[in-house]
Amino acid sequence: MNNWFTVKVKYTKELDNGTFKRVSEPYLVAAMNFTDAEARIYEELGMVIRGEFIVVGIARTELHDIFAYDDADVWYKAKITYESEAGDEDKPKKVSQNFLVSAHSVKDAYDRIRESLSTLLVDFQIPMIAVSPIVEIYPPSENLDREISRTPIEEFIPEPVSKGKVFSAPGSDIDEEIEEEFEEEEADNESELEDDFNEEA
């Protein structure tokens, strides 16, 4: 069974004006657990980021569904609420669910959520829509139904990358000051990851 995880990655990115900047970007990954999420992000980004990058955080993300449209690459997070059947209780239970949808604006995201959920048999409200910082989504893959570390390399066929490649400084050409900062951050981030994995356990 696949779950959704938000994996934050830090690397040196080349900007449109040709300069380089240290950035942290979140990616949404379908995986079975924290270990698989980390392994998969290294598999996926290893093909599109040239140079060093590190995983600085992994968090489980509750999403009911994702609606992807080819004409938009900005993701919006939408929260819907509705009342479920009362059952044995006197009052109906209020249910909240989170969705992601690609759209051009908040209004566009609202319309697309309405359209995508038009077949629901209950009345629902959309109390919140906000731009999501998610850069890219890596959906479930048949090859990831098993732990990546146990998948023979000849059987692993990566998903095609939907966006253009992202490049960091060629050959990890980072000056000494940034390199020292990188090492200090990496030590701090190792303890953060340990906390995340301990919480899962």
Q: State phi, psi for 173 to the nearest 5 degrees.
A: -80, 75
Task: Look at residue 194 in the predicted model and tell me its pLDDT.
Answer: 52
Task: Look at residue 41 in the predicted model and tell me its pLDDT.
Answer: 94
CA 67, CA 125: separation in Å to the nearest integer? 17
Q: How many CB atoms lie within 10 A of CB 194?
A: 10
Mean pLDDT of 182-191: 51
Identify the residue with better confidence: 59 or 92: 59
CA 86, CA 96: separation in Å to the nearest integer? 15
Per-residue pLDDT tens for 139-170? 987 654 444 444 443 444 444 434 333 322 23
Per-residue pLDDT tens for 90-129? 677 889 999 999 999 999 999 999 999 988 888 999 999 9
**Residue 85 near residue 99, CB atoms below 8 Å:** no
Is the pLDDT at 62 greater than 60, yes or no? yes
**Residue 61 near residue 196, CB atoms below 8 Å:** no
Q: How many CB atoms lie within 10 A of CB 66?
A: 18
**What does DSSP say about strands 3-14 and 53-60: parallel, antiparallel, or unpaired?**
antiparallel
**Binning pLDDT at 50, 70 and 90, where does residue 27 land?**
very high
pTM over 0.75? The answer is: no
How remote is the C-alpha of 194 from its chain's centroid?
20
